């Protein structure tokens, strides 16, 4: 049964340090938005009743300890099945706002079969934030938003403005061009100039930059820029369909997720969120990057 409003943050946990980092991030966001947290541990079919009770005990201890420390309500549950399916279905059943998940990055055989984190993201119908380490402060002071140049993003920047005002953030819009054509560059610079003027008139700080470099890798340029400005969040669009190439290169999203040290907020197109007015949900596609039918 879904809740009446989208105010739950789902945190999958395997009781590892990176899962603790995810809970740490979720708690800070929950404080800001008056959300609750739901811990999820996924078990296999061979898990016996004694093991299940031991896992429930661990979840209960984490819940009670962090509730006492922070005052945030933290529920918990166990589901049996595949992590790729259960995270998505649990988030949908809970009507979760989004998922915060700790990841290790690619290790060993994952180099061959692909990123587990990316598979979870592509199976989820709600936005996913992936983290690898504890936050160093509260909020999002600098947000990097990579953009493609398929359409003028200005008409759909309003939701990003609302989000940035709440955190007093600086929005950093970055585009990457692999051609040095002056005509093409001037056209895109004009597009970004209109965007900057529009956002500044709304009272939000914004910076925009076009990186022109032949043979540049999109993901490397985004991450380099994020490091240079000490960004707190990268927001990307990662589509499961062939339309993915309209946003960025086919593997760019996965590469950013694997390589980034800061949180990455990733969204898969979902019509359920198109008209959503909640603060976080409205930010998931602020620049209209999602190719809608």
239-269 pLDDT, tens digit each: 544 333 334 445 677 888 888 888 888 765 4
266 DSSP 8-state letter? E
- Are 198 and 157 a contacting pair, CB within 8 Å? yes
Q: Which residue has the tokens 């939701």?
A: 159
Residue 228 sits at φ, ψ, to 5 deg, of -65, -35
Cα Rg for the chain, rounded, in angstroms? 19
Question: Model pTM?
Answer: 0.78
In the numeric block, which tokens belong to residue 31?
Answer: 């404080």
Q: Which of 266, 177, 262, 166 is nearest to 213 (CA)?
A: 177
In the numeric block, which tokens belong to residue 20?
Answer: 């603790």
Element spanning 144, H or E: strand 142-146
| Spans of all domains in the chain | 8-131, 142-283
CATH fold for domain 8-131: Rossmann fold (3.40.50)
Q: What is the C-alpha to C-alpha distance for residues 183 and 89, in angstroms, rounded to an integer?
A: 47
Please tell me the predicted confidence (pLDDT) of residue 138: 63
Residues of the chain with pLDDT under 50: 1-4, 109, 111-113, 240-249, 269-293
The CATH number that domain 142-283 falls under is: 3.40.50.620
Q: Is 142-283 the same fold as 8-131?
A: yes
30 to each of 69, 107, 272, how far by Cα in Å?
14, 30, 22
Residue 55 sits at φ, ψ, to 5 deg, of -65, -45
- Are 266 and 253 a contacting pair, CB within 8 Å? yes
């Amino acid at each position: 049964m879904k809740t009446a409003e989208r105010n739950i943050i789902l945190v999958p946990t395997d009781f590892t340090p990176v899962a603790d980092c995810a809970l740490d991030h979720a708690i800070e966001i929950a404080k800001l938005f008056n959300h609750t947290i739901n811990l999820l541990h996924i078990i296999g079919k061979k898990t016996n009743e004694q093991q299940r009770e031991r896992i429930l005990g661990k979840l209960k201890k984490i819940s009670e300890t962090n509730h006492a420390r922070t005052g945030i309500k933290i529920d918990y549950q166990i589901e049996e099945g595949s992590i790729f399916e259960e995270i998505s279905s649990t988030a949908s059943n809970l009507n979760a706002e989004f998922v915060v998940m700790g990841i290790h990055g690619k290790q060993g055989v994952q180099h061959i079969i692909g990123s587990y984190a990316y598979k979870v993201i592509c199976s989820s119908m709600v936005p996913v934030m992936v983290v690898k380490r504890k936050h160093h402060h509260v909020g999002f002071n600098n947000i990097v938003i990579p953009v493609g140049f398929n359409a003028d993003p200005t008409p759909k920047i309003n939701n990003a403005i609302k989000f940035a005002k709440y955190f007093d953030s600086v929005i950093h819009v970055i585009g990457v061009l692999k051609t040095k054509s002056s005509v093409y560059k001037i056209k895109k610079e004009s597009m970004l100039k209109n965007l900057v003027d529009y956002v500044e008139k709304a009272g939000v700080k914004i910076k925009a930059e076009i990186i022109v470099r032949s043979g540049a890798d999109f993901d490397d340029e985004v991450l380099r820029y994020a490091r240079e400005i000490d960004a707190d969040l990268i927001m990307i669009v990662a589509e499961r369909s062939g339309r993915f190439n309209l946003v960025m290169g086919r593997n760019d999203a996965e590469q950013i997720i694997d390589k980034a040290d800061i949180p990455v907020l990733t969204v898969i197109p979902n019509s359920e969120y198109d008209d959503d007015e909640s603060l976080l949900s409205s930010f998931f596609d602020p620049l209209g990057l999602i190719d809608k039918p």
